[in-house]
Amino acid sequence: MGQEISSTQFTADDFEEFGERLARETGLLEEWLESGGLASDEQVGGFELEAWLVDEEMRPSPINETLLDRLGDPLVVPELARFNLEINGTPQALHGDALTRLADELTATWSKCEGLARDLSAHLMMIGILPTLRLQDFDAANMSSMQRYTALDEQLAQLRGHPELHIDLHGRDQLRFVHEGVMLESATTSFQIHLKVDAAQAGRFYNASKILSAPMVAVSANSPYFLGADLWAESRICLFEQSVQVGLDPNEQRVTLGRGYVDSIADCFRINQEHYPVLLPQLMDEPEAELPHLRLHNGTIWRWNRPLVGFSGHGRPHIRIEHRVVPAGPTVTDSLANAAFYFGLVNDLARQPVAPELRLPFGQARANFYQAARLGLEAELVWLGGERGGVRALCREHLLPRARNGLAMLGIDRVEIDRWLGVIDGRLENGQNGAAWQRAWVARHGSDMAALTAAYLERQQSGRPVHEWDL
């Protein structure tokens, strides 16, 4: 959920001063964007993978602090819950064998973490929502000991005026319950894909990412079960949106696909400053040119596609798009295939002579997204120019060729393109992504969530991509 803070207690003066600094930094970023002061060099890709720690009975194991202390790797950090952790990849310039380099690093880090987990009678898993979760797992005692999480919990409750969350999830089953606190968010683990882009073109890439959110979530869905209920193919979407809800106004929600397309990426940061109340008014001593308050505030708004401001080694600011719709898992191979699909597609769409956002109204892109999250590979979507059809046919006939073209434009090796997009094609051919496999296993073996999780873990550890898994 973002960077650590030094305090959980804030005054009215803190909020006022933070707001003033945020306004100045937002104006400074807008000046840089208008004057060409941000980086416009080659595209760079990276990722964050949120993982589960489970015990021998396939239940969440709250041991991340012990494991991280033994590991001592700055690329592996705590997450909101003590039974999650986050693995980061070293960003790679997107050409040649960049995808294999990202995969090799993730495999090596995963292997080290899994070895330490086994020493602690646990295992590491990548799956969007762990099927064995129980409501008591989201007790505050399982929250990681970072002050940021405590402060977020308190501030979100204050913003909505009460601590209770009224969760109402409708899928194949219906699930309703009341819960207090932000810990429900820890149920929703993802593979967040990062892409550094030309700042002048960042708005086009951001809009294209929104349009692509529907096919991306359909192809990668891996979260059908929560608390024993069969919900959406990617239930992570509806659960995360409700787990940090702040009121009834859809324009004020902190987890969102957004209000529309943008003319410039600056629009997002201006909306942040003008429309989203500050949650963490931590005053910082860093220079204004490092945009510390803008970046902290942006980290408390969890758009499904989130623009980020970063700084290169020589201190020049740049824009990244964080594509957040993809769940964790099922394997390293599946994860990097999802990244390849996104990198290729967004690079192709964002460079089309006629901007795709002019060919698909935002309301339809939004409807596509939720339809795809609900139904996964069975979804029917409306594509550019009003073409309507099943997502599997759309991807095979139109989007895979676009992804190939986009990766080729980046200079990705042909063998790389064939390897990674071949994984996506395999899922489309037989209709089996993580969500489909989980549901098929339950249909054959019954709804024993521990047995399902054990079967999933066994196949995950084989390394074979999910479209090759048997039942």
* CATH code of residue 75: 3.30.590.20
Question: What pLDDT does 312 receive?
Answer: 82
Q: Residue 193 domain-assigned? A: yes
Question: What pLDDT does 3 receive?
Answer: 60
Amino acid found at 108: A
Parent domain of 146: 12-466
Question: What pLDDT does 337 receive?
Answer: 98
Q: Residue 27 domain-assigned? A: yes
Helix, strand and coil in the chain, % to nearest 5: 50, 15, 30
Q: Residue 1 domain-assigned? A: no
Q: In angstroms, rounded to a whole number, what is the distance separating the alpha carbons of residues 196 and 173?
A: 39
**Which pTM value belongs to this model?**
0.96
Q: Residue 398 domain-assigned? A: yes
Q: Residue 111 domain-assigned? A: yes
List residues bridging with 179 in a β-sheet: 165
Q: In angstroms, rounded to a whole number, what is the distance separating the alpha carbons of residues 240 and 370?
A: 13
Q: Residue 118 domain-assigned? A: yes
Residue found under tokens 């992570």: 236
Collect all residues with Cβ–Cβ distance below 8 Å to 162 and sequence separation of at least 6.
none
Question: What pLDDT does 1 receive?
Answer: 45
In sequence order, what DSSP letters do the residues of 109-162 get, joined into one string? HHHHHHHHHHHTTEEEE--SS-TT--GGGGSGGGB-S-HHHHHHHHHHHHHHTS
Q: Residue 278 domain-assigned? A: yes
Q: Residue 4 domain-assigned? A: no
How many independent structural domains does the chain possess?
Answer: 1
Per-residue pLDDT tens digits of the chain, which is 471 residues long:
456 555 667 899 999 999 999 999 999 999 999 999 898 778 999 999 999 999 999 999 999 999 999 999 999 999 999 999 999 999 999 999 999 999 999 999 999 999 999 999 999 999 999 999 999 999 989 998 878 888 888 888 888 888 889 999 999 999 999 998 889 999 999 999 999 999 999 999 999 999 999 999 999 999 999 999 999 999 999 999 999 887 666 667 889 999 899 999 999 999 999 999 999 999 999 999 999 999 999 999 999 999 999 998 778 899 999 999 999 999 999 999 999 999 999 999 999 999 999 999 999 999 999 999 999 999 999 999 898 999 999 999 999 999 999 999 999 999 999 999 999 999 999 999 999 999 999 999 999 999 999 999 999 999 999 999 999
Question: What pLDDT does 466 receive?
Answer: 98
